[in-house]
Structure 1
Amino acid sequence: MHEDFFGMRGLNLDQLQAFLDVVALGSFSAAADRAGLSQPAISLQVRQLERRFGVTLIERVGRKAQPTAAGIRLLEYADQIMKLTSSAFDEMARHAKGAMGRVRIGTGATACIYLLPPLLRQLRQRFPSLEITVSTGNTNDLVKAAEGNAIDVGLVTLPASSRALDIMAVLDDEFVVIAPRQITLPDRVDAATLASHPVILFEPGGNTRRIADDWLARGGVALKPIMSLGNVEAIKELVSAGLGCAVLPGMAVRTARQLPDLHVRPLRPALHRTLAIVVRKDKKLHRGLRETIEALKSLSTPGAPNA
């Protein structure tokens, strides 16, 4: 019986629905009226279901049809099966009508704050049915998440490597120094000049901090920051309060350029980071994911949201 139950034929959903209707209405004739069928047709469907399981599912008590002990046990499963079936049809109908599906994006906190909002707004305007979720993390975590299919697409800071992923560089972001007005800085700031002031950096562990540390090392400076934080807005507030300078990705200080209490200076030599899209090589790209990836690729083109 177990093999037959899971065999090629499977369960007949019409038979299950007939069983549910008879139990709910207490009558074969009422169930027939609901289904738009004859009473013998409903009775046949229930008998076929009983033969399928090899048990009696419905018995008459007086004039009312009621479930047997086996029928009571089947009720819960049948109800779950029909609800899941209905949900499956609803979901497929959404896709048939052009629904875009769900896309899970993973990126760094800075890109999430300063880069993604215009892009997500454009996607939402073009595709109102597209469901997007965004999570943040460092490159290593996001690469693992993409490999494990916990996210559909990542926007990460290079370097990143994985045999399972396609990695596409899309955006070059130049680092800058920000400082309160009371600190005098040259037009371009080298490592030695930066090290002569108190400095706030990103917390260790991510590629953004590693890139800054490498730049300082190449300048012959072993700098110990007065503070390390993971939140770019918190760093900007501390600099505005006069606590020191900070090295930040350029995308994070576009609004800072309008603040009268901050200097914004490029570094010497110039320092950049590269953002890249990561996607599993075997990822099936439904329309919503394809459109999202194309939008992320557009970040490297003139007039894109980062410009």
Structure 2
Amino acid sequence: MRDFNLDQLQTFCDVVALGSFTAAAERLKLSQPAVSLQIRQLERRLGVVLIERVGRRARPTVAGVELLGHAGQIEAVVSAALDGMARHATGAMGRVRLGTGATACTFLLPPILRELRRRFPTLEITVSTGNTSDMVKAIDENLLDLGLVSLPVSGRILEITPVLEDEFVVIAPPEMRLPARVTAAALSGLPVLLYEPGGNTRRIADEWFARGGVSLKPVMSLGSVEAIKEMVGAGLGCAVLPGMAVRKDRNRASFVVHPLSPRLHRTLAVVIRRDKLLHRGLRETVKALKALAEGAQGVEDGLASEERDAAFGSHGRDGQ
């Protein structure tokens, strides 16, 4: 790149395209001697003859033809770089490609994305949802910029930052009697709905039942947390779900929340390639997601309080 003059390259392209030094000079609003000088300087810089005169036409040499092929790519890269810098100059923040699970996308991300949008109106964020393994693979292949996914996650090239512990709970119709301590054994005799197999949410629930000595066959498996809540509200059974899915639910009157015993949680982490170049928009998005760790304890304490109240209420009904 040192001493390589883009203006000289453009002059060369114009001379070849027009077949004339004079015509190129008119297009570039330069004198004909100035155009000739730029071509000589470019040839001297590259150490080759680029243009030969055949009659009245200026034609590229073999070396000139090869340079012409590179010139189009150089122009495209330079244009992209200038467009990118123009976005920064006008305050544009660029694009961020974020991958996460459906539950986090629905119940955790909206206020975060709303605040980012308020602070940075030109920031473009695209969100993809799927299983953790698919999201991590896309990050590794640079198809996504970062992810907010459930642990465990591994990869030497990945920077993994745990930010939030999300406690699992049982939700049940108000008329369903559950004990104060909702164990795997206590649920084994009840109709239980679970998230569909294949994702971390179902894996975590299955492992909890297995540790309790229960091989549970759910009465229904669904791919949507909202669908599961509707089924529970309709009285079709109880369900084990991530706490964030019910913490601020507007339809809490249709079901009761109970803590699990022993308690169960998943850890959400921000995942990004260690070698990822952080433009301002991506840097601000990573910062906003990592800030989840700062408010996590207060949220979990609030949920624990709600669950204790629900458990005492359930126990009171059982004693009546």
TM (normalized to structure 2)? 0.75
For structure 1, list consecutive stretches of 5 or more residues without a partner in the other structure.
Answer: 1-7
Alignment CA distance shift 1:83-1:153 (3 Å): closer
Q: Which has the higher helix share?
A: 2
Percent identity, please.
64
Report SS of the residue matched to 2:253.
Answer: coil
Instruction: Give 1:121-200 correspondences, 5 Å limit.
Output: 121-186=114-179, 189-200=182-193
Alignment CA distance shift 1:148-1:76 (3 Å): closer
Q: Distance in 1 between matches of 2:298 and 2:28?
A: 55
Alignment CA distance shift 1:164-1:48 (3 Å): closer
Is 1:119 equivalent to 2:112 in the alignment? yes
Among 186, 201, 209, which residue is 2:202 paired with? 209
CA contact (8 A) 1:277 1:296 kept: yes
CA contact (8 A) 1:106 1:142 kept: yes
Aligned residue in 2 for 1:110: 103
Q: Distance in 2 between matches of 1:9 and 1:300?
A: 46
Among 89, 92, 100, which residue is 2:93 paired with? 100
For structure 2, list consecutive stretches of 5 or more residues without a partner in the other structure.
Answer: 303-320
Deviates further, 18-27 or 83-92: 18-27
CA contact (8 A) 1:106 1:151 kept: yes
Q: Distance in 1 between matches of 2:89 and 2:297?
A: 31
CA contact (8 A) 2:193 2:218 kept: yes
Alignment CA distance shift 1:156-1:9 (3 Å): closer
Instruction: Give 1:269-288 correspondences, 5 Å limit.
Output: 269-288=262-281
Q: Distance in 1 between matches of 2:223 and 2:3?
A: 54
Counterpart residue type for residue 190 of structure 1: T
CA contact (8 A) 1:118 1:305 kept: no
Alignment CA distance shift 1:75-1:249 (3 Å): same
RMSD value over aligned CA atoms? 3.6
The alignment of Structure 1 onto Structure 2 pairs a total of residues equal to: 297
Is 1:222 equivalent to 2:215 in the alignment? yes
Alignment CA distance shift 1:281-1:35 (3 Å): same
Aligned residue in 1 for 2:316: none
Aligned residue in 1 for 2:254: 261
Report SS of the residue matched to 2:257.
Answer: strand
CA contact (8 A) 1:200 1:228 kept: yes
Q: CA deviation at 1:28?
A: 4.7
Q: CA deviation at 1:194?
A: 2.0
Deviates further, 246-255 or 154-163: 154-163
Instruction: Give 1:51-130 correspondences, 5 Å limit.
Output: 54=49, 56=51, 78-95=71-88, 99-130=92-123
TM (normalized to structure 1)? 0.78
Q: 1:43-77 deviations in whole A, cap 9, x for unaligned?
A: 4435666786645467676xxx7867988997676
Q: Distance in 2 between matches of 1:48 and 1:163?
A: 48
